[in-house]
Chain A
Amino acid sequence: MIKKLPAAAGVALLSLALAACGGSSGGTASSGGKTTLSYWLWDANQQPAYQQCATDFQKANPNISVKITQLGWDDYWTKLTTGFVSGSAPDVFTNHLAKYPEFVTKRTILPIDDLVKQDKVDTGIYAEGLADLWVGADGKRYGLPKDWDTIAVFYNKKLTEKAGITDAQLKEMAWNPTDGGTYEKIIAKLTVDKNGKRGDEPGFDKSKVETYGLWLESSGNGLGQTQWSMYAVSNGWKFTDKNPWGSRYNYDDPKFQETITWWKSLIDKGYMPPLKATEGVAWNDMLSAGKAAMATNGSWMIGSVAGAKSDKFEPAFAPLPTGPSGTRMSMFNGLADSIYAGTKNKDAAWKWVKYLASPACQNVVGQHAVVFPAIPAAVEVAQKKFGEKGVDVEAFTVNVKDKTTFLFPITDHAAQIESIMKPAMDAVIGGTAPASSLSKANEQVNALFK
């Protein structure tokens, strides 16, 4: 789940387009005293888990039935928006941090403070910081957290072993913007050219690379969630003046720009593919095709990547490298369920939201082992289940355990910022502009807040 960046979106498909307005969907129907709630989510992998929650919920509340609809990421937001226009959005839907500020401004989702207070819901049971993400700029709460995600290094164990790199080494990687540290050394070693020469060997031909040490998913736009945010923040950089609800971005900070300069240098050295290679086949397919040895990405991809195991690809996960600050830093992002302001079944909708965020449902989600639930006890369940499938996910949970996370930057104007930062970052990573050019983009971004 979570933020799918446009570049990853060969996928984005049809949907995207258009859609002005949504169908008369969702909505609610009451027949014979029975209330039907509509609930939307976008990750097909999670649907079985929430279907189970719905079944349990209906057992406890025989007069409410929940109808779950899953739509792909792009269709999801389009149909949701048009649903708001036609007054037929779903009663409850999975919400995203990049989207909800807009919904708050347009008053399309309900604040739930009164309900939380009335039912004495404890927002302290969730992993640290998650509940705060859903308090709007107006100080009101717009959702209860349901899960979280972090970033780690995905790698192909077949290739690291061939290069003589041990798992222990991969767990202890350190990074700095000057020479890249042990992290860059490992990336170099994992890079192999057509003649079999490795990136750290003399005679390495960077124009004919067969396997890249680190894959480039995209330029990361203004967020760099899975691309560069972990380096920049571990270098002491902050996205905004404050988070959440900052009003000034810091893309002009030298700490940010030196990080980006280093990151880009991996391309020049031949350790990371050029930007032009990022359009087309998705990064995880490059990993399984053996075109890359490592890639940084989010915990929501664990299932897909682990499932692509073949005789060429043995998926494994390593924690992020530590930075100059001495710690590793992963962006911490979480989803929540929000209630549509136009719902005709506010009480039933609240019951369902409350249930989704309760230990009962969270444990069910944990059992399905597709995502990390928001409640720490349920996370342990998930971790165990992942382990039973032969997948070690400690690389993702370590950040939460060590409290080495930083929160997803929440501000207004997310869509406009994206449209400014995408071409700016593309230009830097594509090599047509220096990292210092980001200062100008930063001015444009900050002008949005005036």
Chain B
Amino acid sequence: MADTVSVPTPRPGAPAGRRRSPQARPHVRRDHRAALFFILPALLGFGVFYLWPTIRGVYLSFTDYSLLTPPAWSGVANYTKLIGDASFWRSLAVTLEYVVINIGVQTIVAIALAVLMHRLTRSSFLRGVLLLPYLVANVVVALVWYWMADYTLGVVNQFLGWIGFGPLGFFGEEHLVIPTIALVNVWRHMGYTALLIFAGLQAIPRSLYEAAAVDGSTEWRSFWRITLPLLRPVLAMVLVITVIGSFQIFDTVAVTTQGGPADASKVVYYYIFEKAFSQFDFGYASAMGVALIVILAGVSLFQLRLLRAGESDLS
């Protein structure tokens, strides 16, 4: 894959390339022009396929739009409805529970896996195996587990039976359904997350561990004193990405419980989908989408500040 990326020779006539004096002012101007050149394709894609649809979505949130008839301006009606909609707030709480379990378990497991791999083996086969679940589409993963975790016939409950636990209604009990869905997605993502963290681990100089070992530090101590602090920038990035992805949990719910039982797994994204595409209330769905964006932006800002990932040698 790498070959496809590293595009061959630089173009000799490239615009700003030839000037020799790295003096302050021309340097800056050259920066500007080069920046424009580099940013343009992405900016175009961003404007057309992210920004514009988002603006249109925000517009739709102020309308009454049923997909089949043109949108009609309705002011803040959707937003006032949103504030009084208990189902919306409940779906937010459900989503939050999911995110906490999903991210909490996933991050811990991934760090553990990465550290174990890092300290135990160079086997790329092993890393490849752990990445396998990520290769299977979301919905299929959900279906496979939905079936394996069945209350009556599922193989998971058979295992539990052998070690003396009664069958559990993983997807069918109100208090178990969200943890179950969260863990299913941990299964799919743990290897991938571990691999990202593993890459971060490899950048930590070996000499630090060796020195620590000479000083009599245990593996456990080294982990807390060397690994974790040095891993922070990578962790920050991994967390920002996974937390936002986690908030957008949808496929697994759509394929399995569809929000049940008794709305116990009706996450906010599924609620939006239901409003938009099964009740055709696209205006209201858009308003919920806007609320979700605001919430996510808040969470990410908070996270970035907490982890100080925004720090760079440029700022």
B241 within 8 A of A: no
Pick the residue among B68, B258, B273, B276 that contacts A6 (CB under 8 A).
B258
Complex Cα gap A20–B277 (Å): 7
1/0 contact trace for A437-449 toward B, CB 8 Å?
0000000000000
Chain A, Cβ-Cβ closest to B69 = A106
> Is the CB–CB distance between A279 and B277 below 8 Å?
no
A81 within 8 A of B: yes
Complex Cα gap A20–B278 (Å): 10
1/0 contact trace for A1-26 toward B, CB 8 Å?
00000110110111011111100000
Report A-chain residues with C-beta under 8 Å of the C-beta of B278. Answer: 415, 419
Interface of A is mostly: helix
> Count of chain B residues with Cβ under 8 Å from any Cβ of A?
40
B227 within 8 A of A: no
Smallest distance from the beta carbon of A105 to chain B beta carbons, Å? Answer: 9
Smallest distance from the beta carbon of A384 to chain B beta carbons, Å? Answer: 36
Report B-chain residues with C-beta under 8 Å of the C-beta of A340. Answer: none
1/0 contact trace for B239-256 toward A, CB 8 Å?
000000000001100111
Interface-central residue, A19, A21, A286, A423, by most chain B CB under 10 Å: A423
In chain A, residues 269-300, which have Cβ atoms closer than 8 Å to a Cβ of chain B?
A: 273-281, 285-286, 289, 291
Interface-central residue, A17, A21, A85, by most chain B CB under 10 Å: A17
B139 within 8 A of A: yes
> Is the CB–CB distance between B152 and A279 below 8 Å?
no
> Is the CB–CB distance between A81 and B67 below 8 Å?
yes
> Is the CB–CB distance between B67 and A85 below 8 Å?
yes
> Is the CB–CB distance between A430 and B261 below 8 Å?
yes
Complex Cα gap A10–B151 (Å): 14
Report A-chain residues with C-beta under 8 Å of the C-beta of B250. Answer: 17
> Is the CB–CB distance between A9 and B258 below 8 Å?
yes
Pick the residue among A10, A19, A291, A427 that contacts B256 (CB under 8 A).
A10
Contact A277/B68 with A415-B278, A432-B174 known, Cβ cut-off 8 Å: no
> Is the CB–CB distance between B273 and A281 below 8 Å?
no
> Is the CB–CB distance between A10 and B146 below 8 Å?
yes
A61 within 8 A of B: no
Complex Cα gap A289–B250 (Å): 31
> Is the CB–CB distance between B276 and A20 below 8 Å?
yes
Contact A276/B172 with A14-B139, A106-B66, A415-B279 known, Cβ cut-off 8 Å: yes
Chain A, Cβ-Cβ closest to B153 = A281
B262 within 8 A of A: yes
Complex Cα gap A72–B147 (Å): 20
Contact A280/B150 with A20-B276, A274-B169 known, Cβ cut-off 8 Å: yes
Q: How many A-B residue pairs have CB under 8 A?
A: 129
B149 within 8 A of A: yes
> Is the CB–CB distance between B154 and A280 below 8 Å?
yes
A102 within 8 A of B: yes
> Is the CB–CB distance between A276 and B151 below 8 Å?
yes
> Is the CB–CB distance between B255 and A84 below 8 Å?
no
A265 within 8 A of B: no
Report B-chain residues with C-beta under 8 Å of the C-beta of A84. Answer: 67-68
Pick the residue among B147, B149, B151, B262 that contacts A430 (CB under 8 A).
B262
Pick the residue among B67, B68, B139, B171 that contacts A279 (CB under 8 A).
B171
A426 within 8 A of B: yes
Complex Cα gap A416–B281 (Å): 10
Pick the residue among B139, B152, B259, B277 that contacts A281 (CB under 8 A).
B152
Chain B, Cβ-Cβ closest to A5 = B258
> Is the CB–CB distance between A426 and B262 below 8 Å?
yes
Smallest distance from the beta carbon of B162 to chain A beta carbons, Å? Answer: 15
A247 within 8 A of B: no
Complex Cα gap A18–B280 (Å): 12
> Is the CB–CB distance between A289 and B153 below 8 Å?
yes
A385 within 8 A of B: no
> Is the CB–CB distance between B153 and A279 below 8 Å?
no
Contact A276/B262 with A286-B153, A432-B174 known, Cβ cut-off 8 Å: no
Report A-chain residues with C-beta under 8 Å of the C-beta of B256. Answer: 10, 279
A108 within 8 A of B: yes
In chain A, residues 136-175, which have Cβ atoms closer than 8 Å to a Cβ of chain B?
A: none
Contact A276/B261 with A19-B277, A81-B277, A430-B174 known, Cβ cut-off 8 Å: yes
Binding site for B on A (CB under 8 A): 6-7, 9-10, 12-14, 16-21, 78, 81, 84-85, 102, 106, 108, 219, 273-281, 285-286, 289, 291, 415-416, 419, 422-423, 426-427, 430, 432
Binding site for A on B (CB under 8 A): 66-69, 139, 143, 146-147, 149-154, 169-174, 177, 250-251, 254-263, 273-274, 276-280
Nearest 7 pairs of A and B residues by beta carbon: A276-B169, A280-B150, A276-B172, A279-B171, A426-B262, A106-B68, A279-B172
Known: A13-B255, A281-B154. 11 other contacts (CB 8 A): A17-B254, A20-B277, A102-B280, A275-B172, A275-B261, A277-B150, A280-B149, A280-B171, A280-B172, A426-B260, A430-B261
Give 9 CB contacts A-B under 8 Å. A12-B258, A13-B255, A20-B277, A280-B153, A280-B171, A281-B147, A281-B153, A285-B153, A419-B278
